[in-house]
Each structure stands twice: as C-alpha cells, then as structure tokens.
Structure 1
Amino acid sequence: MKKYLYILPIVFLSIACGTVPITGRKQFNLVSDAEVLSLSNQSFNDYMKTAKISSNTVQSQQVSRVGNKIVQAVIRYFKNAGLGNEPANYQWQFILVKDKTPNAFALPGGKVVVNDGILPYPQDDDGLAVVLGHEIAHAVVKHSSERLSQQMMAQYGQMAIDALMTGKSNESKKLASTIYGLGAQYGVMLPYSRTQEYEADKLGLIFMTMAGYTPEKAPEFWQRMAANSATVPEFMSTHPADGNRIKALQDAIPEARKYK
C-alpha cells in the first residue's frame, strides 16, 4: 500500500498540469471547474447572508465600472490570444460592502467583493484598478482551484483525494469547508502562496494596463497601504513583504506597458 501512496502524487502531477496565461507557469489542478464553482457559490451565498452592502451609490458604481472595464480587457485578450472565451462565461459581479477592514477578495466564477475600508488607499480609478486587477487575476487563472488541489495533495494519505475524485459530495464539502473557511469565516478564501500572489500582482498590472489604466499607480497604491497600516491588514496578511512586492511591481511595469 505504501508504494502506491508514493506513486500517487507522481501520477496526478503527470495528468493535472496546465499553464497560466502570460506567465507560462505550470499549474497543478485536480479539481473540476464545476465542483469549485459549486463550492464558490455556496461560500458566496453564505457570506452575503451576513454582509452589509454599501449604500454609497457613487462608490459602488465606481467599483463596478472599473471592475467591468478590466474584465472586458481580459476577455479581449483571451480571445485574441486564442485562449477561448471562458472569462466571458463567468458571472462577473462586483460588490461593495460596509466593512472597515482594508480587504478585497474574488471567488471562482467572477464574484468580487470589496470592503469600503480599502477605498481610501486607491484614491482614484487607477488605484482601484490595482486592487480589482489583482483579484480578477486570481479568479481568471484559477488560483483557488490550484490551492485546493495543493491542499488535497497534502492530505492524500487521509483519503481526501479519493473522496473528491469519486464524487462523494459530502466529503468534498467537508474538506472544502475547512480549506475555504466556511462557517464563521464565510467568504474568506484560502491563503494563496507567495508565488500566486506575485503572479496575481503581475497579471493584475497587465490586465489594468490593457484596460487603459496607469500601471505606475500600482507601486504607489502599495506604498500607501504599507505607510498607513499600523498593523498588517487582512488584505496583506498572506502576501509578500511590502518592499519585495513594490520592487516586483516596479520591475514589471515595462512589460505591462507592452500590452497597452
């Protein structure tokens, strides 16, 4: 039995790899889009039962306007690059909620939630495009599926993979509830790896540039986030160190400009 446990990860690695657009990074994914979308919708519905939607029409419209503009740029890019039209089939929705924590998160399938507590940091549409480009990137390149797959691999000795691969939905949801933080942590996605965070930064920078926004605003946004936070905010809690992130964004600006 032990030899099969050692072989299992190798087998899955050989059949479950994809490639991230633009960066070209090989991506490991064991979970079907349908299953992830089902879990995402459950998480979103549970979260919205307790969330307070912002009554600020101007700010809500700004979030939707900037988000949808970036989405349209992403859809055009995928089409022109021959990558299909999957982003066009997502149910994109941008929601501003009353929460003073400077945070934003995206769920698989296109639901993006922005706390109004983060709005002082962007200052304008370009700054907001930094936040939304990053979250849209997470959704489009399926970082959630990848992280869930990584967690499954880590737990394969406990039959987690078998439970998911055989379609046992109760076991799948039980595992996903732990990973996604359902229950008391509705809507809070599993922490991404630093590799994925850097990737979302870079892709978000490119996506916002495609949409006509100014990529130089990205380092400025993160500088304000770092300077105005006495403690590490939730939005940055699992992210790269401020200096490293800002440097990486500055280095990526010339490449992003090529996509304008």
Structure 2
Amino acid sequence: MKYRNQIIGALASVLLMGCATNPFTGKKTLALVSNSQIFPMAFQQYDQFLSQNKVVKGTSDAEMITRIGQKISKAAERWFNANGHPEYLEGYKWEYNLVDDKTVNAWCMPGGKIVFYTGILPIAANEAGIAAIMGHEVAHALANHGQQRMSAGQIQQVAGVAGSIAMSGKSAAAQQIFAQAFGIGSQVGIMLPFSRSHETEADKIGINLMAIAGYNPEEAAKLWVRMKANSSKSGNGAPPEMLSTHPSNDTRIANLTKWAPEARREAAKFGVTSFK
C-alpha cells in the first residue's frame, strides 16, 4: 500500500506539471516530453526514412504536394497570428515529400515533416482532396499529437508498474489476470479512444486550414466517401470503431459534412470567400 500510494502520488504530480494548452481548443493536453526533445528526433527519423525510400522529385505530382503543403502551412501561420500566437510555430521545419509506394497513406512527424505515398493520389482525386489530407496531417503536428501520445505511453507504463506492485502480494494467477486485464482495458478504454480523439481533432482543424488556404471544405467529406469505397473495393474491412485507432469512415463523413459550413465561416474571417 505504501509503495502504491507513493507511485500514484508521483504520477499525479507529473500530470500536474506536464501539461500544455491546445491553442485550437483551449484545453489542457499532456506534455511530459518537450518539443525541443521530440523535434530533433523526428527530423532525424524523417531523413532516415527518406534515405531508405524512393522519393519522387521533379514531377508535377511532387510539385503539387509541395505547393499545397506550403499553402496549408501558410494558412496555419495566418491563423496563429490572428489568434494571438505568433510564436507558436517556432521550431517547426515544414517539409513535404512524395514517396513512390502503393500504400494508401500519408503522415506527418512532429515538427512538420510530411510524407504522401503515391498510392493515395488516385483517391485524393484532385487538389482539394490532397488539401484535405494535407490539412489533417498538418493539424496532427500543430496540435502536438505526437507529444501527447508519447506522454500517454509513459503514463500507461507507470500505471502498469503501480498496478503490478499493488498485486505483488497476490497469487501468480491473480497477477496474470491483472496483467491481461490491464493490457486490454488500457488499450480499448484509454489509448484507442485517445487516438480516435486525435484523428477527430485533426479532421476539425484540418478542414478549417484547407478552407483558409482557399480549398473547398466540402471536398473533405467527399474524400472520405472515396476512402470508404476504396476500402470496400479492396476488401480491407475496418474493425469496429471501438477497436480502432481511427473513427469509422461514416463518422468522419458525417463530421466533415457538418463542419464544412463552419470552415467556410472561418475562412471568411481571413477574406477567403471563393474556393477551388
């Protein structure tokens, strides 16, 4: 009991100290690891990834990825300046690369390092579709979702240790049951919803950024209609939402459809009233 209380007390202290504020929502977020530590590691890993993969250079598609990425990051800069956070992007080093790979995916590392795979381009279908994806990925970086996930992983480890210590006087069978239950419970009950909330948040931020950049926010929902059709066509059925790191396609389509008018109003604040 003594050790358990000490660990729980230490964990509570860490949580109180290791917080930041999300500028988009005003909510407190986990920040047990600073961006000054995370960014250099992310940049190194990004460079290593590029050195080990076929980066597409000099094509119209590669140039399009860079052009749209720059528009989205410029929209983010405008948003931060207008909302009283001109210093927020300090340390970010935006980079956009197209990689020759049939995988239907795109991702962004902390600090603004983005990769699009060629496999996602047919589903993106047009510049607005790429802007919807780009806005989503840029949003992950801006909301520090990588930082939050690393912090949550640390807390999960500490909580597991605390639970194991609390169970130390129990039978081996009881300890095994706890370990299994904690693993499943923390994943399904905490980590997966945590990931889904990040995806939803990135969708919401991203659709605003694409609109501020001059792209029709209604295209975001259309993108996910195509994503859903591609999943059905390829036979890659998604798991139930509660067992997934991402919201379901239908949830995303409904959310993005609902948010499109809001994104148009947000863009109008920056003088953007016509869209591609």
TM-score when normalising by structure 1: 0.82
- Which amino acid in the other structure matches residue 224 of structure 1? R
- For residue 24 of structure 1, report the CA deviation from its aligned partner: 2.9
2:86 and 2:145 mapped to 1: Cα distance?
Answer: 18
- Which amino acid in the other structure matches residue 205 of structure 1? I
Are residues 1:241 and 2:248 paired? yes
- Which amino acid in the other structure matches residue 110 of structure 1? G
CA 57–255 in structure 1, closer or farther in 2 if over 3 Å, else same: same
2:57 and 2:47 mapped to 1: Cα distance?
Answer: 19
CA 118–56 in structure 1, closer or farther in 2 if over 3 Å, else same: farther
Q: Residue 250 of structure 1 aligns with which residue?
A: 257
Alignment of 1:1-260 (within 5 A): 1-55=3-57, 57-87=59-89, 89-156=91-158, 193-229=195-231, 230=234, 231=236, 238-260=245-267
In structure 2, the gaps of 5 or more residues are 162-190, 268-276
- Which amino acid in the other structure matches residue 143 of structure 1? H
- For residue 45 of structure 1, report the CA deviation from its aligned partner: 2.4
2:247 and 2:27 mapped to 1: Cα distance?
Answer: 18
In angstroms, what is the RMSD of aligned CA positions?
A: 2.1
Aligned length: 228
- Which amino acid in the other structure matches residue 130 of structure 1? A
- Which amino acid in the other structure matches residue 69 of structure 2? G
- For residue 56 of structure 1, report the CA deviation from its aligned partner: 5.8
Q: Which 4+ runs in 1 deviate beyond 6 A?
A: none
Answer with 1 or 2: which has the greater Rg: 2
2:24 and 2:50 mapped to 1: Cα distance?
Answer: 33
- For residue 34 of structure 1, report the CA deviation from its aligned partner: 1.5
- Please, which moves more after superposition, 17-26 or 123-132? 17-26
- For residue 55 of structure 1, report the CA deviation from its aligned partner: 4.4
Report if the CA contact (8 A) 1:202-1:249 is conserved. yes
- Which amino acid in the other structure matches residue 118 of structure 1? I
- Please, which moves more after superposition, 104-113 or 25-34? 25-34
The one-character-per-residue Cα deviations of 1:212-260 (angstroms, maximum 9, x if unpaired) are 1110000000000110222158xx9731111111111111112212211
TM-score when normalising by structure 2: 0.77
CA 137–5 in structure 1, closer or farther in 2 if over 3 Å, else same: same
1:239 and 1:255 mapped to 2: Cα distance?
Answer: 23
Q: Residue 180 of structure 1 aligns with which residue?
A: none
